[in-house]
Amino acid sequence: MSKLFTPLTIKDVTFRNRIGVSPMCQYSSNDGVATDWHMVHLGSRAVGGAGLVIAEATAVRADGRITPGCAGLWNEDQVEALIPINRFIEDMGAVAGVQIGHAGRKASAARPWDGGAHLADDAGGWHMIAPTDQPFDDDSTRLWKAPRAMTHDDIKKIQQSFVDAAKRALVAGYRFLEIHGAHGYLLHSFFTPLVNTRTDEYGGDARGRARMMLETIDAVRANWPENLPLGVRLSAADWIDGGLTVEDNIQMAAWLKERGVDIIDCSGGGATPAARASIGSRTADQVNLAAQIRKDAEIATMAVGCITDAKHAEAVIAEGQADMVLLARQLLRDPYWPVHAAQELEADAKSMMPIQNGFFVG
């Protein structure tokens, strides 16, 4: 009997299998408002059999978008556009989830296919905020703007924006909420010593650098229903000397667990240009990070990174490395990967085929 296709229940939410769509920026929103693209992109992966569909990094404020095309949850128009998309995802038997975040000093960027560097203010860019005023990169051949170091007032306002976005996420129909604490964006940039050199109570030792994340989680958890799961994506290793190690993130996961976080999504990298890639040479190693955090922090984990093969995914779950696998690029290549995996593993695919199609699929 396949473990990958055994349902998972966290709080009052049951996922039909252990396969999730990893959050993926689509750069296709208008002023943060989802479009038909999102209905097709997310909807087709729900039809394809995933148990959880996590929508892309969705900004809690306009200045928290990575690019002008990124999604948002800072106003009611954005909520209205998401309601039918999430209804469809749930009608297809998947759980609708969303990753909310703030891009910090990596905001105000061009779309990847336009180079990904910062946008000048007169080219649609905006001012950024971050733990310090150091820019992300100093490569003089491209534009890298310096952010403004956040004041305590900024910190409180951002935390409130996370709360407001979480409340909107609920109205929009999401049942799984993930806080983006990875890839060099705002919350990760507070935790990693590669970026955070503050000398106040939001910097210094690991507990000080974790304060921004932990206060944000406290505020969100108090406003996200107790019976719905809350996850956090961490860069479980910075992959660079002087950066965060998996041990630092085991500690962070333990702190998050104490605060009512249900599951840790274990990604990596992204803090600085040297540790730049969140998809890079170490991506495949992230499964091991998920296993270590699960074991040592005694919290459920999601493994992500270079999972493309059904038997590999089955082994990750069966061997107890993670409670769920997330796939990104493979689900872009093949939205029906879960159905194909069920066939390969001889698992029951009927529950993954809504309407009468399960009859034919077996």
Ligand X SMILES: Cc1cc2nc3c(=O)[nH]c(=O)nc-3n(C[C@H](O)[C@H](O)[C@H](O)COP(=O)(O)O)c2cc1C
Q: Rule CB under 6 A: which residues touch ligand X?
A: 22-25, 56-57, 99, 180, 182-183, 233, 267, 278-279, 283, 304-307, 327-330
Nearer of residues 57 and 210 to ligand X, judged by Cβ = 57
Nearer of residues 31 and 258 to ligand X, judged by Cβ = 31
Q: How far is the CB of 37 from ligand X (least distance, A)?
A: 13
CB 294 within 8 A of CB 286: no
Q: How far is the CB of 13 from ligand X (least distance, A)?
A: 20
Q: Read off the amino acid at residue 67.
A: T
DSSP for residue 118: B
Q: How far is the CB of 182 from ligand X (least distance, A)?
A: 6
CB 36 within 8 A of CB 50: no
Nearer of residues 111 and 167 to ligand X, judged by Cβ = 111
Q: How far is the CB of 107 from ligand X (least distance, A)?
A: 13
Selection from 230, 242, 239, 288 nearest residue 268 by Cα:
239
* Residues in the chain, overall count: 362
CA distance 334 to 281: 23
CA distance 77 to 34: 9
CB 33 within 8 A of CB 79: no
215 by Cβ neighbours in 10 Å (0-12 / 13-18 / 19+) ranks as middle
Q: How far is the CB of 106 from ligand X (least distance, A)?
A: 11
What DSSP line would sit under 120-165, residue for residue?
PGGGT----EESSS--S---TTS--PPPEEPPHHHHHHHHHHHHHH
User: What is the crossing angle of helices 246-258 and 286-296, to 10°?
Assistant: 50
Nearer of residues 236 and 353 to ligand X, judged by Cβ = 236
Nearer of residues 130 and 353 to ligand X, judged by Cβ = 130
Distances (CA, A) of 27 to 64, 112, 286: 14, 9, 25
Nearer of residues 19 and 130 to ligand X, judged by Cβ = 19
CA distance 191 to 152: 16
Q: How far is the CB of 54 from ligand X (least distance, A)?
A: 8
Nearer of residues 70 and 339 to ligand X, judged by Cβ = 70
CA distance 209 to 222: 22
For residue 240, the number of C-alpha atoms closer than 13 Å in the C-beta half-sphere is 20
Q: How far is the CB of 122 from ligand X (least distance, A)?
A: 27
Question: Taking the CA atoms of the chain, what radius of gyration do you get in angstroms?
Answer: 19
Catalytic residue among 27, 185, 202, 336: 185
Using DSSP, state whether 9 is helix, strand or coil.
strand
| Residue 185 is among the residues annotated as catalytic for this protein | yes
Q: Read off the amino acid at residue 90.
A: E
Which residues are tagged catalytic?
Answer: 185
